[in-house]
Chain A
Amino acid sequence: MIGLHRRPRLELMLLLLPGAGFLAALFGFPLLTALLGSFGLVGDDPALTLKFYARIFTSTVLLRSLATSLYYGVVPVAVTVVLAIVLALALRRHFAGRKLFNGLYKIPLKLPKMVRDPWGIGVIAATTWKQLPFMTLVITGAFAAIPEDIRHAARTLGAGPIRAFLRIELPLALPGITAAVLLTFIGSMGSFAIPDLVGAPNPLPLSVRMVRAFAEGDMSQVFAIGMVLSAFAFAVLIGYYALTSRVGTAKGDSR
């Protein structure tokens, strides 16, 4: 083993092997298979083809599915983030929080037919309900990280509660909120169970189509759809880093 110390890079690679190896085996390998499969290179009759991707972007049916997936990704997250911010603020004060909860839990009992409708109200409501705890947790943390003094400073300088929130607290909590939004969006866009159960039968989101393709044994199509959903998630992440790396220099840590 002494020899290893003289070759730090080798030593580093060996140390990383269990963790990175695990990831490579259980995530990397299937991902690579899916990527190759989406180009038709896996299966009984492998041949490089773009037709599975072409189908997604030319078939009206699948394009609408992509649009539906985006819709089911964006709208629930937008609704959730607003609710989560309201909840996070309400949880700061005990009395207001209690009143809010009293109203909140009664809502699902009163809404009319919400499933299988063209605007996906059922999907949005159910997805929001599912995402709300996580988002609220993260956003509460984001607001809690802002020192109390800063809020007080804004108030004594003449900002009313709303302006203090909009001009000072929200911008400072924004990195945390954005992270919560993006993480949730990625899951939201690919979500299967809720759209499958309460979504409109038409148009079906890509996630449901993916399962149908699996049932028909059309694995290459499954891979292609999976790659497209992954690509979107990836694009969203890249976009996030691009945006926040610039905003990050404008915001500072207060000492």
Chain B
Amino acid sequence: MKRLAAFALTTTALIATPCFADAQPGLKHASPELAAVTRDNFYDVVVPLAKAEGTVVMYNFAGSFADTWNEGLLKRFEEKYGIKVVYSDVKGDQADQQLIAVQKAGQDSPVDAYFAGGGDYSILAPSGVVGNINLGAVLPNLATVPSQFKDIVFGVDVHGTYPIVHRNQTAIGYDSAVVSEADLPKDFDALLAWSTSHPHQFAMTLPAKGGSGGGFLFSAALNYTSGDCRARLLNYSKTKDENEDFALNDTCLAPVWDYFGKLLDSAELTNGNADTLNLINNKQAAMGTVWEDQVLTFLRTKQLPESFHLTLLKNGQVGSGDAFFVPTTALHPAAAMLLINEAFGMDFQAFKMETKASRSPRSDFDATKVSAETRKYLLPDAVYPSLSVAANWPMTLALTKALDEKILSKR
């Protein structure tokens, strides 16, 4: 028995020893030259280094984007620079945990350029996975990207290490063959009224299982609060516990819970983003919480009827985005930076807007350039970008848990 105790203790000690990553280390495999690169000498320095590396490994967390990456970026990148791209689709949460584990073990990252969820920064950063290189300041194609998409992203100070390459928008989607323009709700109150008079026709994605629902929850919270309460919702500097405590206990959120208590009496909760769209496609619901870009993909693959349209409610619905970054211990940092730069280029930004309704973070991007065919599937100019508001995912998470606790667990 003594031997067993000793074994257990040793094991515990080994596991419990945290691997402290140095505060703000640079990219492990970047030469001093690469580490010191600027926007002016970027191509001169990076291209030869990247070609010398010869290959770059890319992860994509968004399944529906696979063909867009390959057709729109990777083929051209390979042709242009002669650098081979090794591409993988991954499951976001699993890849995140993998990278964290690898980082903690002091090993090299299996990926060089990782297209990851915008809200994942807070999961990845603490263990030092996100490479400390200010891509926002260094990559030429990020010159025209405003600060909120490269420096302070969704309230978190990322110092340009985690730039948003793809922007998306939560919205309300509806079958215009069933819901006329006259009946279409314009704000949250009207939506509640519509849902009450059309029970089980409004499909709301369960916030815990899909961002279209989470975004809706946060948007409603912003709508039904004001002053300090609303400001608190948009406060990005609070800890997870503080957010959860606020969401669960603060009385200023009462109107929000009141709203959802009533809404969920008639609305249909779904199991995810795709589930909501499937319901509407199968005529089990007429309206639902959606992502604009996912809708385009479904429309193109005939998984939604042609009569499907989008709108945004007053006083605004959440817009979000996903990032493209270089992990700290990436083996081919120069090639990765070159690839990421290419992803922010006009060609690819236009391509992905056209194919996936992926909005660009670049302020010099002309969204009207998109084809007429695509245009009719996007949000109408009357509502976008005027009714788009910024997301606060940590707070959204806290609100989701509070919704569970206060409303869902009582049904």
- Using a CB–CB distance below 8 Å, which chain A residues touch chain B? 29, 32-33, 36, 41-46, 59-61, 64, 113, 116, 196-204, 211-212, 214-217
Contact call A201/B15, Cβ cutoff below 8 A? no
Question: Does residue B249 face the partner (Cβ distance < 8 Å to A)?
Answer: no
Which of the residues A41, A45, A199 comes within 8 Å of B15, measured between beta carbons?
Answer: A41
Q: Are B271 and A60 in contact (CB under 8 A)?
A: no
CB of B127 within 8 Å of the partner chain: yes
**B271 and A197 within 8 A (CB):** yes
**Closest CB of chain A to B5's CB: distance in Å?**
13
Please indicate which of the listed interface residues A29, A46, A201 has the most CB atoms of chain B within 10 Å of its own CB: A201
A61–B15 alpha-carbon span in the complex (Å): 31
Q: For chain B, what secondary structure do more than half of its interface residues adopt (helix, strand, loop), or is it mixed? A: helix
A61 proximity list for chain B (CB < 8 A):
401, 404-405, 408-409
Q: Which of B92-100, B254-262, B318-326 contacts A (4 or more CB under 8 A)?
A: B92-100
Contact of B271 among A41, A42, A46, A199 (CB under 8 A): A199
Given the known A-B contacts A116-B269, A116-B271, A202-B269, are A42 and B405 also in contact in the complex, defined by CB atoms under 8 Å? Answer: no
- Asked if residues A202 and B408 are in contact (CB atoms below 8 Å), the reply is yes
Q: List 19 A-B contacts (CB under 8 A).
A: A33-B15, A36-B11, A36-B12, A36-B16, A44-B126, A60-B405, A60-B409, A61-B409, A198-B271, A201-B209, A201-B271, A203-B408, A212-B208, A212-B209, A214-B97, A215-B93, A216-B123, A217-B96, A217-B100
Q: Is B227 an interface residue (CB 8 A)?
A: no
Instruction: Kindly state the separation between the CA atoms of A41 and B11 in the bound complex, as whole angstroms.
Output: 11
Of the candidates A41, A199, A200, A202, which one forms a contact with B12 in the assembled complex, judged by CB atoms under 8 Å apart? Answer: A41
Q: Are A36 and B15 in contact (CB under 8 A)?
A: yes
At the interface, yes or no: B18 with Cβ under 8 Å from chain A?
Answer: yes
The digit string for B175-217, where 1 denotes a CB below 8 A from any CB of A, is: 0000000000000000000000000000000101100000000
List the 5 closest A-B pairs by CB distance, nearest first: A215-B93, A201-B206, A201-B269, A217-B123, A60-B409
Report Cα–Cα, A46/B15, bound state, in Å: 10
* Shortest Cβ distance from B123 into A: residue: A217
CB pair A214–B270 under 8 Å, yes or no, is no
Q: How many residues of B contact A (CB 8 A)?
A: 30
- Complex CA gap A199/B272 in Å reads 11
Q: List A contacts of B397 (CB < 8 A).
A: 216
**B370 in the interface (beta carbon within 8 A):** no
Are the C-beta atoms of A215 and B405 separated by less than 8 Å? no
Closest Cβ–Cβ distance, residue B385 to chain A (whole Å): 29
Contact string, B62-98, partner A, CB cutoff 8 A, digits 1/0?
Answer: 0000000000000000000000000000001100110
Q: How far is the CB of B284 from chain A (nearest CB, A)?
A: 8
Q: Which residues of B contact A212 (CB under 8 A)?
A: 208-209
Residues of chain B within 8 A (CB-CB) of A197 are: 271
The answer to whether the Cβ of B2 comes within 8 Å of any Cβ in the partner chain is no
Q: How many A-B residue pairs have CB under 8 A?
A: 68
In the assembled complex, B8 has its CB within 8 A of some CB on chain A: yes
A204 partner residues in chain B, CB cutoff 8 A: 208
What's the minimum C-beta distance from A11 to chain B, rounded to whole angstroms?
18
CB closest chain-A residue, reference B96: A217
Tell me if B411 counts as interface (CB < 8 A to partner A): yes
Evaluate whether A214 and B93 lie within 8 angstroms (CB atoms) in the complex, with A42-B15, A46-B16, A203-B408 already known: yes
What A residues does B270 contact at CB under 8 A? 116, 201
Partner of B18, one of A44, A202, A203: A44
Chain B residue, CB-CB nearest to A195: B271
Other CB < 8 Å A-B pairs besides A61-B408, A215-B93, 18 of them? Answer: A32-B8, A36-B12, A41-B12, A42-B15, A42-B16, A44-B127, A46-B16, A60-B405, A60-B410, A61-B401, A196-B271, A197-B271, A201-B209, A201-B271, A202-B206, A212-B209, A214-B93, A216-B123
**A interface footprint on B336-347 (CB within 8 Å = 1, 0 otherwise):** 000000000000
Q: Using CB atoms, name the residue of chain A closest to B8.
A: A32
User: Which one of B11, B209, B269, B404 contacts A32 once the chains associate, using CB atoms below 8 Å?
Assistant: B11
CB distance from A65 to the nearest CB of B (A): 9
Min CB distance A47 to B, Å, is 10
Q: Are the C-beta atoms of B8 and A64 separated by less than 8 Å?
A: no
Proximity bits, B269-282, A CB within 8 Å = 1, else 0 = 11100000000000
A-contacting residues, B15-31, CB 8 Å: 15-16, 18
**A29 to B404 CA separation, bound complex (whole angstroms):** 34
Q: Which residues of A contact B401 (CB under 8 A)?
A: 61
Tell me the complex Cα distance, A203–B403, Å: 12
For chain B, residues 370 to 399, give those with C-beta under 8 angstroms from any C-beta of chain A: 397
CB-CB < 8 A to B206: which residues of A?
201-202
- Give the interface centre of A46, A196, A199, A202 by most chain B CB atoms within 10 Å: A202
Which residues of B241-269 are within 8 A (CB) of A? 268-269
Closest A residue, CB atoms, query B205 = A201
B27 to chain A, nearest CB (A): 22
| Separation of A59 and B408 alpha carbons in the complex (Å) | 12
**Inter-chain contacts of B271 with A (CB < 8 A):** 116, 196-199, 201
B411 contacts which chain A residues (CB < 8 A)? 202
Chain B residues, CB < 8 A from A45? 18
Q: Which residues of A contact B284 (CB under 8 A)?
A: 113
Bound-state CA distance A212–B268 (Å) is 21
Chain B residues near A29: list those with CB within 8 A. 11
Closest residue of A by beta carbon distance from B213 = A201
CB distance from A111 to the nearest CB of B (A): 15
Among residues 225 to 251 in chain B, which have CB atoms less than 8 Å away from a CB atom of chain A? Answer: none
Most B CB contacts (10 A, CB to CB) among A33, A64, A204, A216 go to A216
Q: Which residues of the other chain, A, contact B405 by a CB distance below 8 angstroms?
A: 59-61
**A203 adjacent to B16 (CB under 8 Å):** no
Alpha-carbon distance between A36 and B405 when the two chains are bound, in angstroms: 27
Closest residue of chain B to A211, judged by CB?
Answer: B93
